[in-house]
Structure 1
């Protein structure tokens, strides 16, 4: 079995927009897309777009993976 390290799967510098950081923090807090939309005054489809961008940038397939990778990359504490 191969032992992967964060540096193997994540770029050294992940550039997130301010809005993506806000969405990521709310995902990490357990909020749904609808809750995130209400809190940030944006539509659910806009939230979904931000989530899709986060998955791509963080190399994740789901919300848990995105949050885990963000913690490992030092984007969340």
Structure 2
């Protein structure tokens, strides 16, 4: 599921929030701590759906999108 990504905080370029217009109460977030090398990510709605650590931003965003789908009960062929 493709999410729409934007910066979470104007002054933190390595911090993004992903949303989907069909699910306004569910969101994803990826961020890198200042000076860090790994990316933290999580997906939430009224409760935690999934979270993890990835080696780069693209991998963190992909993990969020997959967790977003799994939380909705959507599966893709080959996964």
- TM-score, normalised with respect to structure 2: 0.32
Bigger strand fraction: 2
- TM-score, normalised with respect to structure 1: 0.33
Query: Comparing both chains, which one has the higher relative contact order based on Cα–Cα distances under 8 Å and sequence gaps of 6 or more?
Result: 1
